[in-house]
Homo-oligomer: A and B are copies of this chain.
Amino acid sequence: MGVIVVGSVALDSVKTPFGEVTDALGGSATFFSVAASYFTDVAIVAVVGDDFPSEHVDFLRGMGVDTSGLYTEAGKTFRWAGAYGFDLNDRDTIETRLNVFEKFRPRIPESLAKVEYVFLANIDPELQRLVLDQMKSPALAACDTMNFWIERKRKELLETISRVDVMVMNDTECRELAGEPNLIKASRRVLQMGPETVIVKKGEHGALMFKGDSFFSAPAFPCESVYDPTGAGDAFAGGFMGHLAKTGDTSDANIRRAVIYGTVMASFCVEQFSVNGMASLTGGDIEERFRQLKEVSKFET
């Protein structure tokens, strides 16, 4: 089994009401792979500059992440700087410097082309498609996106979406992609674009899953200490895909479980800066939050 993720590896400078970090390890592929590493073999395909600290590569390898697809190019690593306001729901991007990421053309190493679970993190939909073209026998491919691509590369995005099994996005993106304010209707419209399953991430309000006629509403984990929401969506995707790849089971019941594991990983992610909240968990920590989410959503007739 195992899962491969194609996305960004970045150095993030983040300011929240609780503190700030400079050039901390970030990027969609990073958050995804660290979360997924608790469930299954995970390989990363991304690019960094020659300024990228080797300790970060060591950290990823230490988490068991296969970095054979992490390319180093001459130049600087992708840098993102952002700040969150008082309630952590609004994020201001202060600066985005794509640097070496600007010319990123994902090449899947031969040794990874047969990985069966594929996650296309939020990158240009043309590059997402390029990844799909290189995979030999994907059992399940999922993709994320953002408003930028919905607005600027809609046609290419629709083409990518038509080729994946699972679409993962946040509620605002879902409404925008579908051109429909009702989130239930919007999600069903995205289903009609091709994917068998649509996952809508709603941050502090949990997540929704649509698969055929099945609809699942997952609670958020009741986090009292949210320090930095950066990467939560990718950590969610990492837990979700990691569990699916580990079990090789895409039944409705197991996809629901995967959504809960995604929720658990996102909850750890937001409790500290960068990937620190996910750096040293045990299987028991993860199972305990799974159990708590069961308790949180339980009611009897």
Interface residues of A (CB under 8 A from B): 86-89, 175, 181-185, 188, 202, 204-206, 215-220, 222-226, 253, 256-257, 259-260, 290-291, 294, 296-301
15 A-B residue pairs with Cβ-Cβ distance under 8 Å, sorted by A, are A182-B224, A184-B224, A185-B224, A205-B206, A206-B206, A216-B297, A217-B296, A217-B297, A218-B299, A219-B297, A253-B299, A256-B298, A257-B299, A257-B301, A259-B299
Instruction: Given A88-B181, A89-B181, A219-B219, output 17 extra A-B contacts at Cβ < 8 Å.
Output: A87-B181, A182-B224, A183-B204, A184-B223, A205-B205, A206-B206, A216-B296, A216-B299, A217-B297, A218-B299, A219-B297, A253-B299, A256-B298, A257-B299, A257-B301, A291-B301, A297-B299
CB distance from A246 to the nearest CB of B (A): 15
Let me know if B204 and A299 touch, CB within 8 A: no
A224 and B181 CA atoms in complex are apart in Å by 10
- Interchain nearest-CB distance for A88 vs B (Å): 7
Neighbour of A217 across the interface among B182, B188, B206, B301, CB < 8 A: B206
In the bound assembly, the distance between CA atoms of A253 and B300 in angstroms comes to 7
Q: Which residues of B lie under 8 Å from residue A298 when comparing CB positions?
A: 216, 256
| Identical chains bound together, number | 2
What residue of chain B has the Cβ atom nearest to residue A299's Cβ? B256
Q: How far is the CB of A259 from chain B (nearest CB, A)?
A: 8
**A257 contact from B183, B205, B220, B300, Cβ within 8 A:** B300
**CA–CA, A290 to B225, complex, Å?**
33
Q: Give, as a whole number of angstroms, the nearest-CB distance from A106 to chain B.
A: 34
Query: Which of A215, A218, A222 counts the most B-chain CB atoms under 10 A from its CB?
Result: A222
Chain B CB within 10 A, most for which of A86, A257, A296: A296
Tell me which residues across on chain B come within 8 A of A86, comparing CB atoms.
181
Of all chain B residues, the one with the shortest Cβ separation from A292 is: B215
Q: Are B301 and A294 in contact (CB under 8 A)?
A: yes
User: In the complex, what residues of B have CB within 8 A of residue A290's CB?
Assistant: 301
Chain B minimum-CB-distance residue to A203: B205
Minimum C-beta distance from A75 to chain B (A): 39
| Inter-chain contact B218/A222, CB cutoff 8 Å | no
Q: How far is the CB of A38 from chain B (nearest CB, A)?
A: 17
Chain B residues lying within 8 Å of A206, measured Cβ to Cβ, are 205-206, 217
Nearest to A225 among chain B residues (CB) is B182
